[in-house]
A and B are shown apart, each in its own frame.
Chain A
Amino acid sequence: MIIMGFSTLQTFPLIEGLTGPQTLDVLHKRITALGARVSGQFVVDCETYFSAPSLLPGNSQRVLNVLHNTEEPASVFAILEGGAKQPVLVADTLLDALLPKMAVLYTSNKKQTRIESKGNRYEMGDFVVKLGSVTMSGSFKGILVEVCYLACVVPALCWEMVWEFMQSFLGSTVPSTLPPYIQSRQNATFSPTDTIQMYLEKFNEFRKQTVAR
């Protein structure tokens, strides 16, 4: 598997009195002023499938999340929630062709559960920044900022530096500790599945938000 640096992900609250696109624009100006340049677009999307009620013993339910990341164009990530473990399967893109075959066993309501983060991708030195606007079933939900440091694969080794970088354009919104997901594995080698798991975590948070702007 290709290792691609260390990524961290955080939400960015809307700036008082500004809309989502306006807030993104402010961020865009800040980061380009620092010297970053736009290097294209990115999308991370997530489709969710639910196991049929009688499929598993004891009427327990599994939630199958299927995620794509433009950073890993040849892979599809499947994360299963609801069980004791939360396994991640990385497969090639034909997995998307397989999913309709289990339509009765794992069902999805595409219009209501599809969520994605989409926006500009910036590069500056060995840093990659992705400013994503999160939409669920077409409506704007918030802003997700992914910051990736390509040259280091162990979070514990470079977190302080990445934090310094994030502060330079995200200001005080940057939490001073590592994201909870990374904290438990900060000395392990980071991989793209870790990035995708953090996205799923954030997506789930957005889904739980009762008030959608």
Chain B
Amino acid sequence: MCAAISAQEKLQAAMQHKIVPNQEYLLQGSVLDSSKDVLIHRLRGLADNVDEQVETFQDRERVLTLGPVSGQTLTLYVRQAMDVRPGMDQSDTPWTMRYIGQPELGDKSRPTVLRNSIDVGCTPNVLEFLSEMGFKQDYEFMCKGLMFRKGRMKILVYKVYKNKTADNWEPLSMSHVVELSVLAPQGHDAVAEDVRNFAEQLKPLVQLEKTDYRRL
């Protein structure tokens, strides 16, 4: 008779065998609104989803922080999909909370930024739950844009909106953010090279680079 294994033990085993994709290889950049269509056009040619309609998304993202205790804080990004797909109720749309670890820039030889990323799907009461836990909302923003795929790579082109009052969202800057990322289990450094190669193909339209957060 096989003993029932708890879900937690399974996950731990999965983590130990490094098969949970929790490492994100990332390059970021931006494109001016005026050149966005050129970029989209090029991406449509390069990415996998040629035949299908390009996937759109609109997410509202809240940034919540817990702490500090002993100088340590925890920041979570709670994302709510705002675009209701046909046949779906607003209450059915998924919520996710995301943890993003300290980005590692590495030296020149490393092609992308590497950071820990854990995306947890959850019920819509997540905001209430986190605030009961002691999380405080820092700020929030809205992302609206397009998503492309190329193999395991995800390419996002989106506009960022900020709000001064509750429902008054204003676009931030005259550019769209361009993000190139792959989620992979630990130690799959080879995919980073793919990310860099893809970024090369978008030059000189967009300069996708390792963002040095300390200099921001």
Let me know if chains A and B touch directly in the complex, using CB atoms closer than 8 Å.
yes
Q: Any chain B CB within 8 A of the CB of A210? A: no
- Contact A94-B8, Cβ < 8 Å, known A55-B67, A101-B99: no
Q: Are A98 and B118 within 8 A (Cβ)?
A: yes
Q: Measured between C-beta atoms, what is the minimum distance from A61 to chain B in Å?
A: 10
Whether the Cβ atoms of A104 and B70 lie closer than 8 Å is yes
Interface of B: prevailing SS = mixed
Contact partners of B119 in chain A: CB under 8 A? 94
Min distance, Cβ B32 to any Cβ of chain A, angstroms: 36
Flag whether A93 is at the interface (Cβ < 8 A). yes
* Interchain CB contact under 8 A, B3 and A89: no
A89-B134 in contact (CB<8A): no
Chain B residues near A1: list those with CB within 8 A: 123
Closest to A38 in B: B1
Name A1's closest neighbour in chain B (CB-CB).
B123
Tell me, rounded to whole Å, the shortest Cβ–Cβ distance linking A55 to chain B. Answer: 5
B50 within 8 A of A: no
* A94 nearest CB neighbor, chain B only: B120
A89-106 residues at the B interface, CB under 8 angstroms = 89-98, 101-102, 104-106
**Chain B, Cβ-Cβ closest to A64:** B133
15 pairs from A and B in contact (CB 8 Å cutoff): A54-B69, A62-B132, A87-B125, A88-B125, A88-B129, A89-B126, A90-B122, A90-B123, A91-B126, A94-B20, A94-B119, A101-B118, A104-B70, A105-B74, A116-B6
Chain B interface (Cβ within 8 Å of chain A)? 1-8, 10-12, 15, 20, 22, 66-67, 69-70, 72, 74, 97, 99, 101, 118-123, 125-126, 128-129, 132-134
Chain A interfacial positions (CB closer than 8 Å to B):
1, 40-43, 45, 47, 51-52, 54-56, 62, 64, 68, 70, 73, 76, 78, 80, 83, 85, 87-98, 101-102, 104-106, 116, 118
